[in-house]
Structures are given as C-alpha cells and as structure tokens.
Amino acid sequence: MSQHIQLELIDVSYAPISLASEPSADVLADIHLTVNRGEWITILGMNGSGKSTLLKLAGGLIRQGVRGSLHRAGSQGGKPIPIVMQQPDAGLVGSTPWEDVVTLLERQGAPADGLVLRAEQALREVGLEGRMHQPLDTLSGGQKQLVAIAGCLAADAPILLLDEITAMLDPGMTAIVCGHVRRLHQQGTTVLWITQRLEELLPGDRTLVLKDGRIVFDDSAGALFRRTASEPPDSPGEQVGFVAPYTVKVGWELAAQGIELPFIPLTADQLAEAVTGYGR
C-alpha cells in the first residue's frame, strides 16, 4: 500500500454473523474505497444505507463477517480507531474535559511521560483551553463533541471518524464544531464525516453516497446535483432521494438559461461564490 494511502478497501462486503440457518444479507457490498492522508471525505445516504457500518468497518470495530481486502495504515498495532457519535455522553469518562482525556489516555496505556501535555494540547486544538477544568455537565452538546474529538487527537487516532456529530446541535454550535474540524483538516488531519445536512458540505469536498450498502457516487459535493440530461431528475443526489435545496434549484434554472456555474451550490454563500466566479 502506498505511503500516501491511509485506508484501502478492495471489494469489501459485510454481512452480520447469523445463528439462523439462512445467512444474513449483506449490509455493505462491493465497496472499493481509497482514503489518502489528509483527505476530507463526506459520507451521505438515507437511513439504513450503511454509512455508520462503513465507518465502523474503517475503524476496525467490525472484524467478523467481512469479506474482501481491508488495509489500515497507522492503526496502532491493530487497535480500533475511536468514532465520535451523535451522543458523546456515552463515551465520556471523566468529570471535566481535562480528566476525560487524561483518563482515556491512561486506559489506553499511554506512557505517563508527557501524557498530561498531550491531553492539554489536544483540548487547545479544539478550542477548549479555557474549559479544561469545567464540569462536563455544564458544557453544551457541541462542547462535549469537541471533548470527544480531543480524545481522538490525544490518542493519535490516524483518522477522525465522525458520525453525524452535529445532528443534535443548533446551527450556531454546528458552525463552531464544523469550524474546528475544518481547521484540523487544514492542518493535515484525515477526516471521514457522516452527515445528513447538505449545508455542511463544501463544493470541493470528496463526497460518497451510499445506497443499499453500495457506493453509488464518489465525486465532489459540487457535482452532487449536477444534471446531465433534459429530463430530470437525473442528478446523483436526486436519484438517491435527496431533496434539492433552493440554491440548487437556482443553479438548475441558471443552467437552463445557458449559465453553467462552476459547481452547483448547496448554500446561499456558495451560490454567491459561484455567481461571483462565473466566467472567470
């Protein structure tokens, strides 16, 4: 495997182990996926499409019932990579952010030398330097998600695996959490980001769409709603059942008038950017 490749799945399928006489149906089927170091990949799909299962497979949390070839670089001797979920409370073990991350490292057998410094640095990286010793039960849901992310960073997780971590957050806190994760990515962190919110995507994001356990789209977010024929709906997003935002419909209308934007915008800010960049 190339040194630039962090995760590689070749013809991977997964069916849960069943005690019944009939074998279980595949939850994931014929997955081909290469994740390069420093890449941001957004994973979309309807409920039951296999998104969370794919993330668990990538993290090494699922081992039995897997067929095909899966390689993970920098996987810490085969240890699973932690996943940050919608509800962070279930995985938080300390009474403060500082205690939570330090305790996590101790449980993982991290060397005592430098352990506290690693924990504090990780908390600074997610913007919690001023709340390290604040009781966890006084933090907002988004701040707790940042504590969980700090734990992953302190534990040297080779990839940030984030499963709809903004699903329970309000727009303001969503923007803060997304902003911190985007900054970590800009600093070189590899991110796999599951979401149902199209407004969280940037036009250049590599985006995967799962349907019935298969990857049916692997391209930029700006191509998700790009129509190619005169008879809609034929864009990849429409074909899997996503409801097009208003800005996408504006992009379609402009295309119908011969104005092809560089990408199909998912938010008002992206629409402004696309229109400003038209013809350049």
Closest CA to 202 of 118, 120, 127, 263: 263
CB 56 within 8 A of CB 64: no
CB 182 within 8 A of CB 42: no
Phi, psi of 211 (to 5 degrees): -145, 125
Q: How far apart are CA 28 and CA 57, in angstroms?
A: 10
23 pLDDT above the threshold of 80: no
pLDDT for 72: 86
Going by pLDDT thresholds of 50, 70 and 90, the confidence category of residue 215 is very high
CB 238 within 8 A of CB 226: no
Mean pLDDT on 124-129 = 94
Going by pLDDT thresholds of 50, 70 and 90, the confidence category of residue 78 is low
Going by pLDDT thresholds of 50, 70 and 90, the confidence category of residue 80 is confident
Q: Which of the two residues, 260 and 216, has the higher pLDDT score?
A: 216
Instruction: Rounding to the nearest 10 degrees, give the CA dihedral for residues 85, 91, 97, 103.
Output: -140
CATH topology of domain 5-200: Rossmann fold (3.40.50)
pLDDT tens by residue, 234-271: 899 998 999 999 999 999 999 888 888 999 999 999 99
pLDDT tens by residue, 39-68: 999 999 999 999 999 999 999 999 899 999
List where CATH 3.40.50.300 sits in the chain. 5-200
CB 70 within 8 A of CB 9: yes
Q: Using a pLDDT cut of 70, give the percent of the chain over it.
A: 94
pLDDT for 167: 92
Provide the edge-to-edge strand list for the sheet that holds 28-36. Answer: 28-36, 5-14, 66-72
Output the six-digit token pair for 77.
């001797």
Q: Report which secondary-structure segment, H or E, holds 105.
A: helix 97-107
Predicted TM-score of the model (pTM)? 0.91
The average confidence (pLDDT) of the chain is 90
Does residue 97 have a cis peptide bond before it, meaning omega lies within 30 degrees of 0?
Answer: no
Phi, psi of 47 (to 5 degrees): -55, 135
Q: How far lies 35's CA from each of 178, 205, 217, in Å? A: 20, 13, 15
